[in-house]
Structure 1
Amino acid sequence: MEQKHEEQEQDDMEMRNIIEEARVVLPGVQALFGFQTIAVFNDRFAELADYAKACHALGMIMVVISIAMVMTPAIYYRTCHGQATASMAKLSSRMIRGALGPLAAGLALDMFTVIHVVASGMEACMALSVGAGLGTLALLAGLWFFLPRHGRRKIAGSKQARQNRLV
């Protein structure tokens, strides 16, 4: 009985930590969405090429998906009356990490749109816009996905090396 109570406390603590992480990320993502929304009402937006408008709209959709994924753990936890489970914590953690994919895509599409506006009239406008968008996506993917994966492998390798020394 005591072990079950300890497991429940550990699951609740894990969920609270996940929700706290979401609280840190959410204001920035919501602010980004606000700026994306305002851009549509700018006079220069009407002058954009249709493909640039489509990139902006797709970027907004990606940010909305990211917002939904970041908010889901708190709603899920509240719906279950604050009774966390290990599977709830695991799913919620995946939702927070998974929200970074659409956020990176949305930011990359917005970077494409902004550079397209800034470089309009330049001969290499399309190349600069595409390069900025792809560069943004590569940077965010590297920092948010590949660097943490590399860190996990390094930690796992250190643990394995310590175990080998103990044997």
Structure 2
Amino acid sequence: MIWPRGRHETEEERADRRWTELLQEVRVIQTGVQILFGFLLTVVFTQRFASLSTADRTIYVITLLLGASTTGALVGTVTFHRLVAGHRLKPQTVLWAARLALVGVVLLLATVASALLLILRLALNAEAAPWVVAVLVAWFVGCWFVLPAWVLRRYSSSE
């Protein structure tokens, strides 16, 4: 099957469209990140937190820092745009904001993996948890990165 090439957009029209798409993507992912980060912030105030081992507390702190970093990267896409808006840099803004959003997705992967590790260490046991997390991380990497890369390679070859 031959796919049509291009939309016949100017560089500015393409930047506007890509910014709108990026903003919508960030809105979707940011909601989940905010919920996850909000739950992480409350863990330290639970009764069970005092009984966590040193290793589990360390995992918690790492998870919390990763969640904060994820939030920073994703919110950074919007503040990046806000700070450079009006300077006729829309294509460059979209490029850098998209890169920042991708960093946010990678940090989200690390945050989710770390949170799963902590929870599964408590729910299962310390020996099984890393294996379960490894399988889930492989699944996320496949869905979030490998499949899109495969589709891009498969359908964007020059004809």
Give the TM-score taking structure 2 as reference length: 0.85
Indicate the RMSD between aligned Cα atoms, in angstroms: 1.8
Give the structure with the higher percent helix: 1
Q: Hey, what's the Cα distance between the residues in 2 that align with 1:65 and 1:143?
A: 22
Is 2:94 aligned against 1:94? Answer: no
Aligned to 2:79: 75
- Give yes or no for contact 1:63–1:102 (8 Å, CA) kept in 2: yes
Q: Distance in 2 between matches of 1:100 and 1:130?
A: 21
CA contact (8 A) 1:111 1:136 kept: no
Aligned-residue identity in percent: 21
Q: Which AA in structure 1 matches 2:16?
A: D
Contact 2:81/2:97 (<8 A) preserved: no
Q: Which SS does the other structure have where 1:126 is aligned?
A: coil
Secondary structure of the equivalent of 2:126? helix
Q: What does residue 138 of structure 2 align with?
A: 138
Query: Structure 1: which amino acid aligns with 2:104?
Result: A
Larger Rg computed on CA atoms: 1
Unaligned runs of 5+ in 1: 1-5, 120-124
Q: Does 1:45 align with 2:39?
A: no
Return the offset for 1:31: 0.3
Q: How many residue pairs end up in the alignment?
A: 150
The question of whether the paired residues in 2 share the 8 Å contact of 1:15 and 1:84 is answered with no
C-alpha separation between the residues in 2 aligned to 1:136 and 1:62? 18
1:149 matched residue in structure 2: 149
Contact kept, 8 Å, 1:110 with 1:133, in 2: the verdict is no
How do residues 17-28 of structure 1 correspond to structure 2 at under 5 angstroms?
A: 17-28=21-32
Tell me what 1:54 maps to: 58
Compute the displacement of 1:84 (Å).
Answer: 4.3
- Following TM superposition, by how much is the alpha carbon of 1:128 offset from its aligned partner in structure 2, in angstroms? 1.2
Once the two structures are superposed, residues 10-65 of structure 1 have per-residue CA deviations (whole angstroms, 9 ceiling, x without a partner) of 32332222112111111110000011111121111211111111111111111211
The TM-score with structure 1 as length reference comes to: 0.81
